[in-house]
Chains A and B, each alone.
Chain A
Amino acid sequence: MGTFQIDFGDAAQPERIIGIDLGTTNSLAAFMDLTGPEIIAAPDGSRIVPSVVALLADGSFIAGNAAKARLVDHPEATLFSTKRFMDRAATPLKIGNRQITPPEAGAHILRELKQHAEAFFGEPVTKAVVTVPAYFNDAQRQATKDAGRIAGLDVLRLVNEPTAAALAYGLDKRKSGIIAVYDLGGGTFDISILRLQDGIFEVLATNGDTFLGGDDIDKLLMAIALEDIAAEWGAPIEGDPGAVETLRQAVIRAKEQLSFTLFTHIDLDYKGRRYQREITRDLLERLIEPIIERTLGPCRQCLADARLAPADIDEVVLVGGSTRIPLVRRAVESLFRSRPHTELNPDEVVALGAAIQAGILSGEVKDTLLLDVTPLSLGIETMGGVVTKLIHRNSTIPASETEQFTTAVDGQTNVLIHVLQGERELVKDCRSLARFELTGIEPVPAGLARIEVKFLIDANGILNVSAKDTRTGKETSVEVKPSYGLTDEQVEAMILESIENAEADIRERQVREARVEADRILAALENAKQNDAWFDLSSEDQAAIQAAHNELLLAYHGDDHHLIQAHIEKLDKASLKLAENMMNTAVRGALKGTKI
């Protein structure tokens, strides 16, 4: 393909593309300056836009610092941490007397960042690279892209947060090596392992948990404080959202201080009432140890998937505000046996990396290229509720797989394909992404249609499906019906379970497959009994078949696939004579039909 030799980088003046870190707690924008990536400051000089949205009395929405300021006084008309709901993009969130979907909430934050950038450059900004947690699934990625579109931004690329951080660290650092990026943010956790060589950043494996972050630490501290207050003040404050929000902010302050001091106070001053409690770093560490422990499983899995040992990791990079916690640093250090990098501000490094990726797309940054992977396996539902994997997790994207489909019924013109994401063997344990309906298939006898379906995961980690009727060469139209059947917690639980339940899965799958085969032979036998050939059999032969049939039915309901298989073979053998007779009958029938 000759067209690939054209270098578009040197063509016209590149249009400005900004990099955006759309975080659970805070969001930032950055751009590629002549000397390197820089954060875009708001007109008031602030660098961070809190990911908070507020509805004003006049019906307008605001986002960022002004919205955060309204959290205490108007808790019912503000939303925070909405990134956690991106998986259920169609389910609206209540804000005041209105309802907005999670992508809309994201759009308000993106719009705020866009306005800051436009004020900064003095010109319209319409193109952006937006980061997502590496472990975001297809639905969450799609929702993030939608948020951009709602905000009037053309999202040219979604980049995984840990990969963006590696870009920010790796540029003008060492020339080659293996880097692990540990990213514990406000609401999500990611681990990615990359090979860096001569400007190529190749992600070897990624893992994570899209429901684990600093928010969970806040909740633990909140539970203690709420209990205290109920006892001290004589009544719980949960019914007063303003009080709860004030307490949440006090708890976060205390948590942050404990990264630098050994003890501090949770200090709540609300409507003339005061609550104070001393809290030590030691207590915090004991509280959050289970949370930190939950990040280590994905780290080990990621190492295993990259086929590396901890000693192979040359550098560890920490990303996300929660990595300021000393216990997190110690855990990471002891797992990877190397002192993590913390030179760059963990709150800003992802946005800086997004700006570098924007520079790669615009052609400003040459010689650097990111090769990322898909975090979750992609598969389709096949007979018996089993998932057949087409593209495995940690495949470099873009990645594709082609699968042949046919029709099951004469004259069938539609085929429905159920696409799932996840690591488990059964449909019920994976996350349903969408149902793709292929329509306009030429009506032919069952099994004759040949439809070639191509599943392609693009560089954003988003699935594209196209289909072709290979008999006619015509493109088949594909209608997508996205499903929001499962929650993200379920997906996370699935992945964790996947490792524990792999054994049980395989057994269950084998039994299902054996049953499908048994169904086939039992149905064939029922059919054959209507045939003349059956009545031609001796009564002994008929009895033998019936006995084998009964034995198979008995085994069918057990959970031993070997036994089912064995009885299928027995029935097969017992009905050999029957099959021969049927063949002869068919031949006779065919001869009868021909006029000689």
Chain B
Amino acid sequence: MDFYRVLGLGPKLQLNSVELQQLFYGRSRELHPDRFARAEPSVRAAALEESSLLNDAYRTLKDPVSRAEYFLKHRGFDIGEQGTKDVPPELLEEVFELNMALEELKSGDESARPQLATARDHFAALLAQSDDELTNLFAAHDASPAEAVLRQIRGVLNRRRYILNLLRDVNGYLSN
């Protein structure tokens, strides 16, 4: 996992954002092309290569979700092709109701609008809940790495993505 290597990190899912930033600044001082402006071309090329890797790494790892996706990908999991498999049935039921409300709204029936606002608040709460779940699973995996935990993380990520899409759709309708 090059992104962890270039930052000098062990393969941990839990990362402290302040510490990560300090690491990034420190490594930037060592690797940035500015430090090698007068070096020979091969060294300059290597600095460009490594510092782009460093920047890509920091950008990916500082966000918990993209970090987990990167981690899972490198542990052999495929991401993002799960459809609605990890979505709990009660949420799917809610989605059906939501779709009905959206249809009403589209046909000019404004009475469904409050229902949308409720749905939005609910989805936002679910999103926060899945973020908490991720934090806990990260800790669990770092304490004792296990494939089963990674599988659970993938489940939460898929559910989270689904909720995020819902939230975006509902927000879109509400802002119109």
Contacts and interface: CB of A to CB of B under 8 A. Distances in A.
B38 A396 contact: no
Contacts of B34: 157, 357, 360-361, 369-370, 459
B30 A4 contact: yes
B29 A398 contact: no
Contacts of B134: none
A200 to B, nearest CB: 5
Q: Contact residue range for chain A?
A: 35 or more
Nearest to A360: B34
B47 interface: yes
Interface string B30-50: 111111111100010011101
A362 B38 contact: yes
Contact of B38 (A202, A363, A456): A363
A1 interface: yes
B17 to A, nearest CB: 13
Contacts of B158: none
B14 interface: no
Interface in B48-66: 48, 50-53, 55-56, 58-59
Contacts of B55: 371, 395-399
Contacts of B59: 395-396, 399
Given A361-B34, A396-B58, A397-B55, A371 B48 contact: no
Contacts of B29: 200, 369
Contacts of B38: 8, 11, 14-15, 361-363
Interface core residue of B31, B35, B52, B53 (most chain A CB under 10 Å):
B52
B28 interface: yes
Given A396-B55, A399-B55, A4 B25 contact: no
A533 interface: no
Q: Contact residue range for chain B?
A: 20 to 34
A510 to B, nearest CB: 12
Contact of B31 (A4, A9, A397, A457): A4
A1 B43 CA distance: 10
Interface in B70-90: none
Interface in A258-285: none
Interface string A145-161: 00000000000110000
A362 B37 contact: yes
A4 B47 contact: yes
A363 to B, nearest CB: 7
B108 interface: no
B10 interface: no
A539 interface: no
B56 A399 contact: yes
B120 to A, nearest CB: 17
Contacts of A503: 172
Contacts of B53: 400
A398 B25 contact: no
Contact of B35 (A8, A11, A457): A8
A333 interface: no
A46 interface: no
B37 A4 contact: no
B176 to A, nearest CB: 8
A371 B34 CA distance: 10
B74 to A, nearest CB: 14
Nearest to A401: B56
Contacts of A371: 28, 32, 55
Interface core residue of B35, B46, B50, B58 (most chain A CB under 10 Å):
B35
Contacts of A198: 25
A508 interface: no
Given A3-B46, A369-B28, A369-B29, A398 B51 contact: yes
A442 interface: no
A458 interface: yes
A156 B48 contact: no
Interface in A445-460: 456-459
A182 to B, nearest CB: 25
Interface string A190-223: 0000000110101000000000000000000000
A42 B39 CA distance: 32
A398 B46 contact: no
Contacts of B33: 398, 458-459
A399 B43 contact: no
Interface in A156-176: 156-157
Interface core residue of B38, B46, B56 (most chain A CB under 10 Å):
B38
B36 to A, nearest CB: 7
Interface in A1-49: 1, 3-9, 11, 14-15
Contacts of A1: 46, 50
B37 A157 contact: yes
Contacts of B36: 8
Interface string B115-143: 00000000000000000000000000000
B24 to A, nearest CB: 9
B4 to A, nearest CB: 16
Interface string B141-176: 000000000000000000000000000000010000
Interface of B: 25, 28-39, 43, 46-48, 50-53, 55-56, 58-59, 172
Given A200-B25, A458-B33, 15 more contacts: A1-B50, A4-B30, A156-B37, A200-B29, A361-B38, A362-B37, A369-B29, A369-B32, A370-B34, A398-B48, A398-B52, A400-B52, A400-B53, A401-B56, A459-B34
23 contacts: A3-B43, A4-B35, A4-B46, A4-B50, A14-B38, A198-B25, A200-B29, A361-B34, A361-B38, A362-B37, A369-B29, A371-B28, A395-B59, A396-B55, A396-B58, A397-B52, A398-B55, A399-B52, A399-B55, A458-B48, A459-B34, A459-B51, A503-B172
Interchain residue pairs A-B with the least CB separation, the first 10:
A398-B52, A361-B37, A400-B52, A396-B55, A459-B33, A200-B25, A398-B51, A360-B34, A399-B55, A8-B38
